[in-house]
Every structure is written in C-alpha cells, then in structure tokens.
Amino acid sequence: MTDSHQTPTTAARLGAEFIGTFVLVFGGVGTAVFAAGFPGDPGNPVNVGFLGVALAFGLTVVVGAYAFGPVSGGFFNPAVTLGLAAAGRFAWKDALGYIVAQILGGIVASTLLFLIANGQPGGYEGTLGSNGYGEQSPGGYSLLSVALVEIILTAIFLLVIIGATSPKAAPGFAGLAIGLSLTLIHLISIPVSNTSVNPARSIASAIYGGPEALAQVWAFIVFPIIGGLLGGFLFRPLLAGLREPIEKVPPLS
C-alpha cells in the first residue's frame, strides 16, 4: 500500500496505469475472445453473451480502481486522461506519460491473449474483440452511428467519474459507480461498435484484429477522445457545485 503521507513516484504511477490497463484489456477482451458469442451461437460452448462481456469490463475497472486508484488515479484510458485534464483534475503536461503507459499495457495484454488464443486447435482466426463500423460493426451500424454512440457514452463516462469522486458522493463507492457505468455503456453499445470508449483498448485489439480492424481503429481513437474532452469541458458549466479540485492527481515528479 502507498503511504498516505507520501506522493507516489512517477514510476509507480506510470506502472499502475500500465498494470491497470493490462488488467482491463486482459479481463474484458479476454472474456470477449474466450467466453462470449452472439446469443444462440452454437460455435461457442460457454457464450456468456453481451451481458457477460459488459460485466467483465465493468468488474476489471472496479478492481483496478480500488487496487491502483490510490497510486495513479486509476484512469486506464487515454480518453479519461485527457477528459480529466480538460476538467482541471489532471495536469496536461503529465497526460502523455499516462497515455503511453496505458497503450503499452493494453498491447501487452492483447499480445498475450493472441498467443493464448492461437493455442486452440486450428489456431485463432477471430478479430480479438476489435471495434468497427459498417461491415465490421457487430450490428452493421454506420460510421455516423458509431461516432454518436462513442462520443456520447464517453462524455457520460467522464461525467460519472467526476461526479462519483466528488466530496459530496458516498465515500468509498466511486470505483463501484464507475465500473457499473462502464457495464451499462457496454450493454448499450456492444451491438453498435463493440464498445470502445477507450483508445488503448481499441488499439490493443486492432493490432491483432486483421487489416479491417487496423484500417478503422482511427475512429476509436478520435471519437472517444472527442467524447472525453467534451465530458471534461462540460464538467465546469454542468457541475458548478463541484468546481473545486476533487482528489486532483498530483503532477509527475
């Protein structure tokens, strides 16, 4: 545990973001790869479905928030990092380090998932839970639909994070509220975009998701970041009572 009277070192904070994002991708995408399928899919003997995948992503955030939040703030997401900077809750100058750690953590997780998946008979020919629009969307949704759902839901996610960590919120429940909100976000948008709201998660999957996933990954970098910034900037006019810095993450040393 971190000494409450001592600011975590830069290495500790970046390491926490790396590990937290690793857990998020390994747990969430791993569930999608190994245990999920569309309802009624006879090719998957487990098939936890959309609900199982949504819960997996939500639970990994709950675990990560309580385990690593005291060290780094528990962002695990470039869109959240930039959104909190826009809200005045995080230093802009420290965002790049966090984002690099998050992307690397996600890539290490997806690499291990790909290696594990290739161990099945016949190897692995899936998309590793990658996001997409048009023909690559689970429900065939258009780029416009994907843009709207990713921007709106990422903005909502930021507002939940800011509100749940306010001094007026019930203490100790922020991680649970944030994790449940991510579960709800997945239930809404898995059929539309396979749910990103997190560029690090999308990049990690796209690397092993095939040429179509790589060609479309730009959308799942741009749209969540727009949504994150929107949520961060909306924080000030919409949540006027919470304008004071709330558990503001200290700058990297």
pLDDT tens digits, 152-175: 999 999 999 998 987 777 778 999
Q: What is the DSSP string of 72-140?
A: H----SHHHHHHHHHTTSS-GGGHHHHHHHHHHHHHHHHHHHHHHHTTSTT---S-TT---SGGGSTT-
For residue 120, with 0-12 CB atoms within 10 Å meaning exposed, 13-18 middle and 19 or more buried, which class applies?
exposed
**Backbone Cα Rg of the chain:** 18
The pLDDT, as a whole number, for residue 86 is: 94
pLDDT tens digits, 4-49: 558 899 999 999 999 999 999 999 999 999 987 544 445 555 678 8
Question: In order of start, what are the domains of the chain with their CATH numbers?
Answer: 10-242 (1.20.1080.10)
| pLDDT at position 110 over 90 | yes
Helix/strand number for the chain, H first, E second:
9, 0
Q: How far apart are CA 52 and CA 40, in angstroms?
A: 14
Evaluate whether 166 touches 246 at the Cβ level (below 8 Å): yes
φ, ψ for residue 35, nearest 5 deg: -130, 0
